[in-house]
Homo-oligomer: A and B are copies of this chain.
Amino acid sequence: LFSLMEEGTKKENKEMAETSADQESPAVRFGWDTSRWIEYVSAAKYKSIEEARVIYKEFLSVFPTAVKYWKMYIEQEIDAKHYEEVDALFKECLLKVPHVSLWQCYLNYCRITTKNRENGNKILEQSYEYAIENVKYDTNATPIWLDYIQFLQESPPSSNFEAQNARATKVRETFDKAVEIPLVNSSEIWERYMAWLDTLNRSYKTKVSEKRHPKQLQCRMIFLKRKSLEDNLPSIRLAVPPGEANADIERAAVKYWKKIIRFEKKPAQQVSALELRERVVHTYKQCLLSLLHFPEIWYDYAKYYADEGLPEEALNVYKQAVEYLPDSVLLHLSYADFLEQLNRPNEAEQVYKNLLEVKNETLVWIQYMFFEQRVFGVKKARKTFLQAHKQPTCTYHIYVASAMMEFYQNKDPELARKIFDRAFQQKFGKETEFIVHYLKFLWNMNEAQNTRVMFERVLSSIPPEKAKMIWNLYLEFEYECGDAKTVSQLEKRKADQFPDEDPNGILALVNRHRYQDLWPCNLATLDSFEYDEREKENEESQAKIQEELATKYPRPDFSNMVPYRDQMGVLTPNMLGPPVPNPSSTGEITIEANEADESYSNLPDPLIDFLARLPPSESHNGPAPDIEKLLQYVREANLPPLPDGAVALGKR
């Protein structure tokens, strides 16, 4: 549904930009809309090669692993006899996009270009060998094997007996190799092998058959097993980032590709370590043709090389990965980690710097700063912090990270305090999450009076609707560090601020006498505390709306990820167990009943929900509002913090 909203705004943007649309690049216009891309690229074959070339290049820069369109492009160049371009294209794609059909295309091209050339056969043979070298472990390589063998059989190098004998040996060796690889339709290779041997020597054939046939059968079994996994792979026309395609398709693709990779890593045949690795690597490459944008695959691939003791190969994988995914924070950080591990700090630093150019984000700055601290020491890390905190996009986290680093790594609590204070004074004095970090830092420093002063400063400066978390934290603090007087005064002040919340103070009483998970009364008694009915209903309907939104727009369940601490004052009987569902009293909001629904059916759901909650316009008989001002007010509204603001009372 979000995508619906986005589409809405996109459409709007599109309409607004209608006139300039033609100037915009297709990448901007199409985003990840594969249907529109395919429509666009499919038109190329009806255009002149010069026009087509532009289209293909645009398309392939977005979908660099789209085999089918590489082939279309190349074939169109071949048809136009632009062989120089063809050579360049093959050079660009053959190794990067390892797919049998591209190699077949290449071999066809070689057959054409070598036809009447001197040494043509020799060149063609080399081409075949090159192709075989690259796709020999591809289960779909059967046609290439067959063509190659046929070529070997049909074009004897000379009439020289020795050369003929050597050729025969080569044919046999090629057959021998091919029948011991799990290939589609490998029985055809086997039959050709046997037929060929028939023409040579019957008894030798029997010997070969006896020796090779069990292995050939084993290969067929292995192929069938792998095929049964491949059959579960959904067809993915174009590689798009996670979340851009159907979720079920993505999940199935990841699941079965990983199964295939695991399958290849534990071969049912005896193969040499080298062959095993070549097969596994080829499988990773095949997988990345469709899962190009999935960091896990790249990471797993690089890790495979690293685990095999081939760090240079692993680095190559990372290099490719960040070329394809220049804005993947995860892959860059992993790449940098690996370089750091290899004791190549300068290269690692460069990875951070490259990433920052694409993604100027707080997290990247934080990890960069930590890296500098680890590798080059505190001075450089501090410089990085000074650079980071000037970035307009930087959030409070950089201050917290820097302060905690000074505290835990450099054992300099005073500097940590200064960093917090600077952030509080200059930038984040009204940001609850930041303030909570600051307060907990002071609390841990065990200087009650300073902490108290800070609590007071905060409470006097932030708006009351944002202050509840602070009040609760303050109470927690006083329970632990204060005395009876400071506690009861604070309880009173809080009750004055939130008079409806706990009218007779019974919840405050419970909280005051609770210690961790020890409660001063049993559940039934907690449950017996009646509290304001109106507020309860309100809360319930709010919870329901939240729940609804949450199912519509999935987002991280922060309560599981970040520390979550009950906002103590809100301790209510509600929390004591999942409310018994009461379908008869679902509150007064019955969106379905709203008559306006139909006329708004084109609007995104959240807006419809919102409109359904507005009173009917007839009921308004005051002066007409100033729309401009209203919108300005909405834009500048101080919205309540998100639920993950509840970072509040946990650590980190």
Top 6 A-B pairs ranked by shortest CB distance? Answer: A243-B524, A554-B577, A242-B528, A363-B518, A242-B524, A254-B530
Q: Are A566 and B575 in contact (CB under 8 A)?
A: no
A515, B522: Cα distance in complex, Å: 38
State the Cβ distance, A80 to closest chain B Cβ, in Å: 40
A418 at the interface (CB under 8 A from B): no
Q: Which of B250, B258, B374 contacts A484 (CB 8 A)?
A: B374
Report Cα–Cα, A558/B513, bound state, in Å: 17
Q: Give the complex CA separation of A101 and B515 in angstroms.
A: 45
Q: Which residues of B contact A516 (CB under 8 A)?
A: 397, 400, 562, 647, 652
Pick the most buried of A294, A329, A652: most chain B CB atoms within 10 A of its CB.
A652
**Given A250-B528, A330-B509; A295-B575 close (CB under 8 Å):** no
**Chain B: minimal CB distance from A439 (Å):** 12
Cβ of A31: which chain B residues have Cβ within 8 Å of it? none
Residues A517 and B644 in contact, CB atoms below 8 Å apart: yes
Say how far A311's CB is from chain B's closest CB, in angstroms.
Answer: 14
State in angstroms the CA–CA spacing of A353 and B362 once bound together: 55
Decide if A566 touches B561 in the complex (CB within 8 Å): yes
- A328: nearest residue on chain B (CB-CB)? B521
B513 lies within 8 A of A363 (CB) = yes
Instruction: Choose the segment among A89-97, A119-127, A407-415 that binds chain B (4+ C-beta atoms closer than 8 Å).
Output: A407-415
Q: Is A57 an interface residue (CB 8 A)?
A: no
Contact assessment for A527 and B247 in the assembled complex, using a CB-CB cutoff below 8 Å:
yes
Do A488 and B242 touch across chains, with their CB atoms under 8 A apart? Answer: no
Least Cβ–Cβ distance between A352 and chain B, in angstroms: 12
A555 located at the interface, meaning its Cβ lies under 8 Å from any Cβ of chain B in the complex: yes
Residue of B nearest to A558 (CB): B517
Do A254 and B528 touch across chains, with their CB atoms under 8 A apart? yes
Of A13-21, A157-165, A272-280, A334-342, the one contacting chain B is A334-342
Q: Tell me the smallest distance from the CB of A470 to a CB of chain B, in Å.
A: 16
- Chain A positions 63-79 with a Cβ under 8 Å from a chain B Cβ: none
Cα distance A533–B232 in the bound complex, in angstroms = 15
Give the distance to chain B from A387, nearest Cβ to Cβ, in Å: 17
Q: Which residues of B have CB within 8 Å of A294? A: 525, 528
CB-nearest residue of chain B to A646: B560
Please state if A576 and B563 are interface contacts (CB–CB under 8 Å).
no
